Amino acid sequence: MRYAARSEWTKLRTDPGNGWLLLGVVALTLVVGAAVAMTARCDAMGCGEDATKLSLTGVMVGQVVVAIVAVLMAGNEYSTGMMHTTVAAVPRRLTVLFSKVAVLSAVMLMAGAIGVFGSLLVGGLVQPGRGFTEEHGYEAMSLADSETLRAAVGSVLYLALIGLLGLGIALIVRSSATAIGIVLGLLFFFPILTQVITNPDWQRLLQQIAPMTAGLSVQTTIGVDQLPIGPWEGLGVVALWAAGALAVGGAMLRSRDV
C-alpha cells in the first residue's frame, strides 16, 4: 500500500497541470469567497444574511476544479494507457483504488483547508465594515464559535468528498470528458430541477438527496432548523454518493481487463 500510494503521489505531483489546478482550487475558493464577503451588506438589525456562508461561497466554484483534478487522476491513465502499467506494477487492484483515494483525499483536504480558512479569515476582516456588527446582531467571526467551525470543517470535507465522487465516476466510465460531465451534472442538475418543480414535497426531497444542495447545508449557521436536511446529515448524503461511486468504480476496476 505504501509503495502504491507513493507511486500515485509521484504521478500526481509530476504532472504540471495538476499543480495549476490545485492552485486554482485554492484561488477560486478564496477569491470568490472574499469577493462575496466584500460586496455583501447588512444595513439593519435582522438583515437575515449568513455571514459565514457568504464567506464560503467560493467552495461552490472551487468544487468544479476539485472534480476535474479527481477525474483526471484516473481518466488520464485510461486515455494514455498508463493504467496497464499501474495494474502490472500493483496487481491488487483494490490497492490501486485505495492508494488513489488516500492520495487524493490528502491533497484535497490540504487545498480545501487553505481555501476555506483563508476565506473565513478575509471574511472576518472585511465583514464588520460591511455592516456585520454587534449592532446588527452579528458577533465577530471566529473558529471558536462551534457553528463557524462546523461550517469550515464541513466545507473542507465536502471538497474532499466531491473529489472522491469524481474519482469513482472516472473509474466507472474511463473517460475524463464524460466523467467531468456526469459529475457537474450531478452537482448542478438537481438545483435547477428544484427550481422547475413546484411541488414543495418533491422540492424538499430533491434538496435532501442532491449532493451539492445537501452537502453545502453544512455551511449554514443561521436558521439551521429550517433546512431541508441537517448540516452533518447533508454531508453524509455526499459521502454516500462518493462511497457508491467508488464501490462501483472499484468493482469495475477489478472485473474489467483495464
CB 238 within 8 A of CB 85: no
Q: What is the pLDDT of residues 37-84, one digit of tens each?
A: 888 888 777 677 888 999 999 999 999 999 999 999 988 888 888 888
Side chain identity at residue 132, one-letter code = F
pLDDT at 258: 67
The pLDDT, as a whole number, for residue 136 is 79
Q: Give the single-character DSSP code of 225.
A: G
Q: pLDDT at position 144, please?
A: 85
3-state secondary structure of 158: helix
Distance CA 218, CA 132 (A): 21
- Residues in the chain where the model's pLDDT stays below 70: 46, 258
pLDDT score, position 211: 96
3-state secondary structure of 90: coil
Grid coordinates representing 93 are 487492484
Grid cell in block for residue 70? 479527481
The CA-atom distances, in angstroms, between 8 and each of 73, 107, 217 are 9, 11, 32
Please state the φ and ψ torsions of residue 144, each to the nearest 5 degrees.
Answer: -70, -20
Nearest one of 73, 105, 93 to 169, comparing CA atoms? 73
Alpha carbon distance 244, 235 (integer Å): 14
Which DSSP string corresponds to 69-91? HHHHHHHHHHHHTHHHHHHHHS-
Among all chains, which residue has been given the C-alpha cell 468544479?
Answer: 64
Q: CA–CA separation, 180 vs 215, rounded Å? A: 19
